[in-house]
């Protein structure tokens, strides 16, 4: 994702112009957002961030949820291979948390797994697997339609 590309965050429970205005005003408080708007008809927030879009998305989701609205996410647990220590788990966790669309990732070395909460459409299993492979590990994931 290039700098200044629009990032689309789906919204739930934003049912009126008033709700959209609350979310829009809340997004003003998120550091790193260059521009933002809420598209009520499309049920999404559109943001741009010049730097660290993954952090901006995570902060935006937190802000939206703190306002009492929601962002639909998927939470899945995947096996992770090639980890030989707790430091490896930390590397995989950092890699996953640095992907745009990942809201939160927790990697457990003891059971060789990653629990990942992500926004479908912004992040998908294939991209997450490629990122983990790029760090020298592997995320075992079913890349069928059900897993995306």
74-143 CATH, one of 3.30.70.100, 3.40.50.1580, 3.30.1330.10, 1.10.3720.10: 3.30.70.100
Order of strands, edge to edge, in the sheet holding 7-10? 7-10, 44-48, 35-39
Q: Rounded to an integer, what distance in angstroms lies between the CA atom of residue 46 and that of residue 146?
A: 26
Count of other CB atoms within 10 angstroms of residue 87: 10
**Hey, what CATH topology would domain 7-66 get?**
Alpha-Beta Plaits (3.30.70)
Q: Rounded to an integer, what distance in angstroms lies between the CA atom of residue 32 and that of residue 26?
A: 13
Same fold, 7-66 and 74-143: yes
Q: Find the helix or strand (DSSP H, E) in which 107 lies.
A: strand 102-108
Q: What is the pTM for the complete model shown?
A: 0.87
Full pLDDT tens readout for the chain, 148 residues: 556 789 999 999 999 999 999 999 999 999 999 999 999 999 999 999 988 899 999 999 999 999 999 999 999 999 999 999 999 999 999 999 999 999 999 999 999 999 999 999 999 999 999 999 999 999 998 765 444 4
The domain ranges of the chain are 7-66, 74-143
Q: Determine if residue 121 is left, alpha or beta; phi over 0 gives left, psi from -120 to 50 gives alpha, anything else beta.
A: left
């Amino acid at each position: 994702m290039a700098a200044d590309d629009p990032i689309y965050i789906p919204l739930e429970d934003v049912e009126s112009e008033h709700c959209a205005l609350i979310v829009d005003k809340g997004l003003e408080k998120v550091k790193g957002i260059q521009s933002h708007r809420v598209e009520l008809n499309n049920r999404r927030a559109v943001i741009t961030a010049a730097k660290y879009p993954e952090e901006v998305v995570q902060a935006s989701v937190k802000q939206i949820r703190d306002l009492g609205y929601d962002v639909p996410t998927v939470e899945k647990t995947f096996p992770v291979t090639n980890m030989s220590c707790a430091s490896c788990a930390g590397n995989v966790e950092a890699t996953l948390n640095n992907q745009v669309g990942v809201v939160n990732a927790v990697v457990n070395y003891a059971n060789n797994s990653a629990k990942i909460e992500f926004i479908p459409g912004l992040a998908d299993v294939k991209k997450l697997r490629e990122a983990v492979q790029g760090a020298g590990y592997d995320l075992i994931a079913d890349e069928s339609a059900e897993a995306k």
